[in-house]
Amino acid sequence: MHLAELGSRIKAVKLTILALQALYKAQSNGLPTTYSLSLYDGAMAAFQTALKHDSEDFNSIFAAAFLLCLFEMVLPEETDSVFCKSEGLFLMRLATWSAPGHLSLRIGAWLTLCHASARRGGNPGVLSNAVSSHISNYGAETLNLPMLDNYNDAPTSVYDTMSAPIFACFLEMQKISGKIANLSHYHRPRFTSGDQEEVAQLMADLKAQIYAIWQARPSLMQLQSGALRSLFCGAVAEPLITLIGICNAAYWTEIVEYGRTLSDPPLASSEAKHAMRQIRDIVDGDTNVFVGGKLNSGYLRPLFLYAIESVNPTDVQWAVDRLKQIRNPIIRSDFFATFAESHSEAQRSKARRVTTKYFCYQTFGVAPPFL
């Protein structure tokens, strides 16, 4: 709502919102993205113009940059990431700016999530090191995950209070996830045994950190769905159950990713297999995984990793079928379903892990979309 209000009076924000709307329509209906890209170019020009005027509130400029970043995450190969620049006027203004407003708190948190997503699979991310260093360590305890459209009539004050610590836990796990991505073969070469030993030690430290976060997770995340329904009215309980399912699955996904990043053993370890069973129990359990007849897109990464780490074709097919039920063209869920299925077949035939990035290039001729 705040971004929509900004768009009513800030040209750069307005034009970027229009570009995002056009992109969403194009992706949803399988149409060319030419028109949305032309709107993006106009929005970028308006952003650059606003950036040159000291009278323009940088909070609004930062909001416009965030919206441009969202557009760029959908079409990374056809756009120029606004936050990946390591020099220039934007960085200069960012370096001298403090972020006191609630909008900036939210943007800082969501940029952290976006960057973690964009670093996986060998992608460069959406933040340069210089930009990242200037984005404060935002207090996630003041934020919350947005309520799903189905629950707009819920008592939002109760929901906000209950969901804030869940968001904080999720955000901390994703910060660790981004660090794990930084240690993958794509971002951290391992030419010598010393390199591998160093990575193993760094990974062990990160695993200990994420385990500590999990052990200290909010008590709500440890409750079964039935218990939550007994504590809250349906309008609060149901969206909380949905969010808790996604956040719990995110933790188990990092356990799977941990073993894959270390590449030892060649396929899923017993620990990873346990984590995969937990993911399957969440998706098939009573956690409101379906929203409006579609599987919640928050399960895209858990299901993709489940598929490419599974040896049993039946398990792979279960994950692929669930991926197809997401039916979200913006995050390319159908592509990820096809990708996972083909990749799993290649791994079974070779009896070893296959590098996802290069497999995607060789098989589909494109870089893996952000996951």
Q: What is the pTM of this model?
A: 0.89
Question: CA of 336: how far to CAs of 235, 278, 301, 342, 368, in Å?
Answer: 32, 21, 9, 10, 9
User: Is 3 within 8 Å of 65 (Cβ atoms)?
Assistant: no
230-264 confidence digits (pLDDT tens): 999 998 999 999 999 999 999 999 999 998 888 75
> What is the b/e burial string over 116-128, where b = at least 16 CB atoms within 10 angstroms of the residue's CB?
bbbbbbbbebbbb
User: Is 135 within 8 Å of 83 (Cβ atoms)?
Assistant: no
Q: Give helix 234-262 / helix 156-182 axis angle, nearest 10°.
A: 0
Residues 259 and 327 in one domain: no
User: Is 42 within 8 Å of 15 (Cβ atoms)?
Assistant: yes
| Preceding omega of 76 cis (within 30 degrees of 0) | no
Please identify, among 257, 286, 315, the residue that sits at the C-terminal boundary of a domain: 286
CA quadruple 60, 63, 68, 69: dihedral sign: positive
So what's the pLDDT on residue 308?
94
Residues 150 and 277 in one domain: yes
Cα–Cα distance, 249 to 328 (Å, whole number)? 19
Cα–Cα distance, 31 to 34 (Å, whole number)? 9
User: Mean pLDDT, to the nearest integer, of 353-363?
Assistant: 91
pLDDT band at 139 (very low <50, low <70, confident <90, very high): very low
Residues 227 and 344 in one domain: no
The whole domain housing 26 covers 1-100
Residues 145 and 55 in one domain: no
Residues 154 and 275 in one domain: yes
Cα–Cα distance, 116 to 210 (Å, whole number)? 15
User: Mean pLDDT, to the nearest integer, of 343-367?
Assistant: 91
Phi-psi region of 263 (alpha: psi -120 to 50; beta: other; left: phi over 0): left
Residues 293 and 262 in one domain: no
Element of type H or E holding 281: helix 270-284
User: What are φ and ψ of residue 67, in 5° steps?
Assistant: -65, -40
Residues 249 and 293 in one domain: no
193-207 confidence digits (pLDDT tens): 888 899 999 999 999
Q: How many domains are contained in the chain?
A: 3
